[in-house]
Amino acid sequence: MELIYFMVVWIATTAGALTGMGGGVIIKPVLDVIGEYDAATIGVLCSCTVFTMSIVSIHKQVRQKAKIDLSIALPLSAGSILGGWSGERLLRYIVAGQDNARVVITQNSLLGLLLLGVYLYMKHKDHLPTLHAKGVLAGLVTGLLAGMASTFLGIGGGPINVAALIFVFSMDTKAAAVNSILTIFFAQLSKLGTVLLHGGFSGYDLHVLPLMLVAAVIGGWSGAKWNRQMTQKQVEQAFNLVQLAVFAICLYNIASTLTGM
For the residues 14-35, what does the mean pLDDT come to?
Answer: 82
Residue 210 is which amino acid?
P
How far is residue 101's CA from residue 108's CA, in Å, rounded to a whole number? 11
pLDDT at 260 over 80: no
The region, left, alpha or beta by phi > 0 then psi within -120 to 50, assigned to residue 222 is alpha
Global confidence as pTM: 0.80
For the residues 222-236, what does the mean pLDDT come to?
Answer: 84
Please say whether the dihedral angle defined by the alpha carbons of residues 77, 49, 11 and 243, taken in this order, is positive or negative. negative
Query: So what's the pLDDT on residue 261?
Result: 66
Query: So what's the pLDDT on residue 156?
Result: 60
How far is residue 129's CA from residue 191's CA, in Å, rounded to a whole number? 33
pLDDT at 138 over 90: yes
- Per residue, what are the HEC states of 81-142? HHHHHHHHHHHHHHHHHCCHHHHHHHHHHHHHHHHHHHHHHHHHHHHCCCCCCCCHHHHHHH
- Segments making up each domain of the chain, as ranges: 2-260
- In this structure, the number of other CB atoms found within 10 A of the CB of residue 77 comes to 23
pLDDT at 188 over 80: yes
Query: So what's the pLDDT on residue 157?
Result: 62
